[in-house]
Structure 1
Amino acid sequence: MDELNVMSFRRGVVRQSKFRHVFAQAWKTEHCLDDVRVTRVTWEAPLCAPNPKFIAVIVEAGGGGAFLVLPLNKSGRVDQNTPTVCGHAAPVLDVQWCPHDDNVIASASEDCTVKVWQIPDEGLKAPMTEAVVTLEGHSKRVGILAWHPTALNILLTAGCDNLVCVWDVGTGELVYQLSDAHPDLIYSVCWNREGSVVCTTCKDKALRIIDPRRGTVLKVKEKAHDGTRPMRAVFLSDGKILTTGFSRMSERQLALWDTNDLTEPMAVQEMDTSNGVLLPFYDPDTSMVYLCGKGDCTIRYFEVTDESPYVHFISLYSSKEPQRGAGFLCKRGVDVNKCEIARFYKLHERKVEPISMTVPRKSDLFQGDLYPDTAGSEPSLLAEDWIAGQDAPPILISLSGGYVAPPSKQRDTLRGRPKLPPQSDDSGPAATATPVVKETEVETTAPARVAQETEAVPDRAKEDDQLNEILTEVKALKAVVQAQGQRIDMLERQLARIEDGDV
């Protein structure tokens, strides 16, 4: 027995983790957002989405659906006359920021549409009613949005019509539709890290792994959780899947699955008998999972490792007031100077409260072990590349010194923005979704731009001519790439029909 105790003690010592002492703390009242009329819809969604620039919160709106978009550093009372994004004809159910452009956000609504909006850098000065792209393909309300993690402009939507749709928002085209994969209401959808497959949970209690480009269900686990309440699932960076659900006795559960063998879960943890659906938020950089349930007063957090029992409970944050939703900030937005590894935005009835997760450190130096390189905003693929069958991992960036993009970098990101039509009063060809490369974009990204300002006029004119030549070549290459992409897309569709026996 003593030997067993020693072995157990040693195992505990071996599993040292730098996240054992993660400290969760709510921000002071003066740093919260007050008088925010958070929506009362009963849809099981976060209802809030922050990114390094803005925070979006779905709010109550008469006669339609609306959501607030505020600067991330905004605090204090939110005036009732603050402009909103209000172009939907029915309540908004979900909002998600594009991972490759911090100014682009998608919204899903009960009016059966999905809209994509371009938010100005300075935020909203007037109500925004005209979306840049409206996606129409669902016959019932749409409640799930999931941007592709590495491919530009690819957006997945799922609705109460049991359909999963994949769109190219640059053209507004529906590129894939899965109509037979789910016999009942879809609860959640999540891409894997490379964006090659998705995992879904459904009202029929099944966990599915789906290849959306082929329209095929690769694997199914019936009754991943026995309870009748909604399940959620997220892909981990190593390909495993973590699910939350309910047992037959209505106990809330957390389970880890090996996608190579879905027969039995690798680990199961039972927590309590609350009715709130647990929303999982996963951080691939730290392998930590945060569980936040609507109506709960707590946020639990776990670390997922390769050693048994695989899912290790760390601690929980507890407060007096229950949350109506919560937004999870991507790693590019956290404060590395304060060793902040995660940040939530907790929704109260009329308040948004930031909650920071930090790892206490005495040193003021950058803590590289807490901040491995993380996914940046640069896409790995274009939409047509992914449609043609390519996959790629995220392009990683360092957070050393904090994520503060210099002006030149901010201009460079213009090249990575979605190929959305420019906002214009014209209703003619200018409103198409054809990508356009502006001279100003090429000029501002030229390495010698600063030197040009100090050179003589003849030299500047000469370099402008060279830039014009480069611009012409770029346009020609873009036209060739577009044509090839369309041809590849057509061949892919033909191949899929042949494989399905339709031809």
Structure 2
Amino acid sequence: MSFRRGVVRQSKFRHVFAQAWKAEHCLDDVRVSRVTWDGPLCAVNPKFLAVIVEAGGGGAFLVVPVGKSGRIEQSGPTVCGHAAPVLDIQWSPHDDNVVASASEDCAVKVWRIPDGGLMAPMTEAAVTLEGHSKRVGILAWHPTAFNILLTAGCDNVLLVWNVGTGELVYRLADAHPDLIYSVSWNRTGSAVCTVCKDKALRVIDPRRGAVLKVRERVHDGTRPMRAVFLSDGKILTTGFSRMSDRQVALWDAKDLSEPMATQEMDTSNGVLLPFYDPDTSMVYLLGKGDCTIRYFEVTDESPYVHFLSLYSSKEPQRGAGFLSKRGVDVNKCEIARFYKLHERKVEPISMTVPRKSDLFQGDLYPDTAGPEPALLADEWIAGRDAAPLLMSLSAGYGAPPFKQRDGVRSEPPRPSLRNSGSASKEAEDEEPRAPTREGSVNAERPRREDDILTELLSEMKALRAVVLAQSQRIELLERQLARIEDGDV
């Protein structure tokens, strides 16, 4: 069932703890779409949660603020501009208000969601992209270039768009002889990996229209496969064996002749959806119709893919959304969060690493991909590549999040410093003064000094985080200004 499961190895993720949120902090009465497409049906970013829902006579998806909980009114507003069911939705990595949707009506639409969510049904898209001749089931935003979107349809064609202009910039019509199951960009956006109904894994340069590598028969089974590019250039695939056992395999993108690791999982028939976190090198596997989430760590040590644990619940999942790292609660050592789709409910599930220290856990939160794009669309089209621009998550440490993990709004922080007179007055109001003995007064003084020292240290820590975030922002703006002065923009 796992990769060398009996071997005990050192890893800070060996004891990742998964916990579902309480019922009152879930979304209820969400009519999740019954479409048979094997997608996650959900997308989430630090601002919004989007879920593909049932819609009579067309296609629609629900968009609500990520902190919302409780019952969803059936008459509530949705994004409902498609003429047929929606198959995939994806938030832009560089603008938390922009979401793309793909539909059976052969169109791709890009929407701008207002801050605070929808006040009325949204029927007019900001951009409509029409180029596929059959239904469109796959969307993939470029990880580092602004407004570049890849789409794949049941016409076996890959299209790359400049969303800012609505222009089709690349068309790959001959790379796939059959239905495309999955598309994933590499870390710099210079190539994509795809898996297809012909059972082949391909590495493609979309700008040259060239297939760089092909591996026939990645998995022997006839059911759909998935592939995801890892940050170090490896590719992880999920599929089925000839005997219909679910499989996971790891490949070196430079040499696809043999898998680096492969393992049979179980005999369930749900397609395994891989969710990859490049910051922790962890992969989460969710099977549609399963009641479990398995998680693994990918390392450079054999057997390369190490089973960590699994989360199990009573109800099967219809799909799931994976929150980008910018949205997790670093104060609670939360390293990942899923939004599990039930038949009529959305349930958040937090993945945390238990720690005793109250300090920011830098080893759990290396700098992550920020919302600023590294390239403009024209720069990428012209042949440039760039790694994601990273940001520190320490700026969110100590600051009250929009909602606590249990869904309760944080109290406003108390003032860090008070003059000694007001502090003494508050102490008198809050607690009855002890008998006036010199020993009692002296005993209270160290406690108050410790409290003030703790508050000073907390404020210093928060200020350092703000300074770091501002420094990174200044550096980015200086780079953009230099580009303009050099005439690159």
**TM-score of the two chains, using structure 1 as the length reference:** 0.78
Equivalent residue, structure 2, for 1:24: 18
Structure 1 pair 104–208 and aligned structure 2 pair: CA distance change class (3 A):
same
Deviations 1:60-91 (A, max 9, x none): 00110000000000000011111000000000
Aligned to 2:60: 66
**Partners of 2:395 and 2:80 in 1: CA distance:** 37
TM superposition shift of 1:403: 7.5
Q: Deviations over 1:274-294 (max 9, x none)?
A: 100000000000000000011
Partner of 2:84: 90
Matched, 1:237 2:231: yes
Aligned to 1:43: 37
Conserved? CA contact 1:336–1:401, under 8 Å: no
1:292-331 CA distance string (max 9 Å, x none): 0110000000000000010000111101110000000000
**Residues 162, 377 of structure 2: 8 Å contact kept:** yes
Q: Which residue does the alignment assign to 2:252?
A: 258
> Partner amino acid for 1:382?
L
Q: 1:46 & 1:271 partners in 2: Cα distance?
A: 20
Q: Which residue of 2 aligns with 1:365?
A: 359
Aligned to 1:134: 128
TM-fit CA distance, 1:261 = 1.3
Which residue of the partner structure matches residue 216 of structure 2?
Answer: 222
1:380-419 → structure 2 map (5 Å cutoff):
380-402=374-396
* Counterpart residue number, 1:121: 115
The yes-or-no answer on 1:187 pairing with 2:181 is yes
1:59-458 counterparts in 2 under 5 A? 59-402=53-396
Q: Tell me which amino acid in the other structure corresponds to 1:357.
A: M
Over 3 Å counting, the alpha-carbon distance change for 1:242 and 1:403 in structure 2 is farther
| 8 A contact 1:24–1:317 mirrored in 2 | yes
Q: Is the 8 A contact 1:276 1:293 kept in 2?
A: yes
- Matched-pair contact (CA < 8 Å) for 2:77–2:121: yes
On the 8 A contact 1:243/1:256 being kept in 2, the answer is yes
Instruction: Report the Cα distance in structure 2 between the residues aligned to 1:334 and 1:175, rounded to whole angstroms.
Output: 35
Contact 2:77 2:122 in 1 (8 A): yes
One-letter amino acid of the structure 2 residue matched with residue 176 of structure 1: Y
Counterpart residue identity of residue 116, structure 1: V
Alpha-carbon distance in 2 for matches of 1:364, 1:292: 32
Change (3 A) 1:130 1:404: farther
Q: CA deviation at 1:363?
A: 1.1
Hey, what does 1:425 align to over in structure 2?
A: none
Given residue 392 of structure 1, which amino acid in structure 2 is its aligned partner? A
Letter in 2 for 1:201: V
Alpha-carbon distance in 1 for matches of 2:111, 2:50: 12
Indicate the SS of the match to 1:130.
Answer: coil
Aligned partners of 2:331 and 2:398 also within 8 Å: no
Aligned AA for 2:218? Answer: A
What amino acid sits opposite 2:237 in the alignment? Answer: T
Q: Deviations over 1:6-26 (max 9, x none)?
A: xx9xx956x300000001110
* Structure-2 separation of matches of 1:183 and 1:403: 49
Q: 1:57 aligns with which of 51, 67, 86?
A: 51
| Secondary structure of residue in 2 paired with 1:24 | strand
- Number of the residue aligned with 1:485: none
1:436 maps to: none
Q: Distance in 2 between matches of 1:404 and 1:93?
A: 39
- Following superposition, the deviation at residue 148 of structure 1 comes to 0.1
Distance in 2 separating the partners of 1:291 and 1:18 = 19
Amino acid at match of 1:160: C
Cα deviation 1:411-454 (Å, max 9, x = unaligned): xxxxxxxxxxxxxxxxxxxxxxxxxxxxxxxxxxxxxxxxxxxx
1:288 and 1:301 in contact (8 A); partners too: yes
Report SS of the residue matched to 1:145.
Answer: strand
Give the deviation of 1:269 after TM superposition.
1.2
SS at match of 1:250: coil
**Which letter does structure 2 place at the counterpart of 1:21?**
H
Contact 1:332 1:403 in 2 (8 A): no
The amino acid that maps onto 1:123 is: G
Cα deviation, residue 481, structure 1: 5.4
SS of residue matched to 1:296: coil
What is the rounded CA distance, in whole Å, between the counterparts of 1:128 and 1:20 in structure 2? 44
| Contact 2:145–2:377 (8 Å) recurs in 1 | yes
Query: Which letter maps to 2:100?
Result: A
> In structure 2, how many angstroms separate the alpha carbons of the residues matched to 1:52 and 1:67?
18
For the residue of structure 1 that corresponds to 2:254, the secondary structure is coil
Cα distance in 2 for residues equivalent to 1:367 and 1:353: 26
Q: CA deviation at 1:210?
A: 0.2
Runs (4 or more) in structure 1 with deviation over 2 Å come to 403-406
Displacement, 1:405? 10
Mapped contact 2:326–2:393 kept (Cα < 8 A): yes
Give the distance between the partners of 2:398 and 2:42, measured in 1 at CA: 23
In structure 2, the residue corresponding to 1:356 is in which secondary structure? Answer: strand
Superposed displacement of residue 401, structure 1 = 3.8
SS of the aligned residue for 1:19 comes to coil
Render the CA deviation track for 1:356-414: whole Å, top value 9, x for unaligned: 000001111110000000000000000000000000000000001428999xxxxxxxx
CA distance, structure 1, for counterparts of residue 165 and residue 277 of structure 2: 31
Residue segments in structure 2 that go unaligned for 5+ positions in a row: 401-480
CA RMSD of aligned residues (A): 2.0
- Residue 170 of structure 2: SS of its match in structure 1? strand
**CA pair 35-222 structure 1, distance change in 2 beyond 3 A:** same
1:64 is matched by which residue type in structure 2? G
Structure 1 CA distance for aligned equivalents of residues 22 and 110 of structure 2: 33
Does the 8 A contact of 1:255 with 1:266 survive in 2? yes
Aligned length: 405
Instruction: Check the 8 A contact 1:153/1:383 in 2, yes or no.
Output: yes
The structure whose Rg is larger is: 2
CA contact (8 A) 1:323 1:347 kept: yes
Q: TM-score, normalised by structure 2?
A: 0.81
Change (3 A) 1:379 1:274: same
Q: Is the 8 A contact 1:333 1:403 kept in 2?
A: no
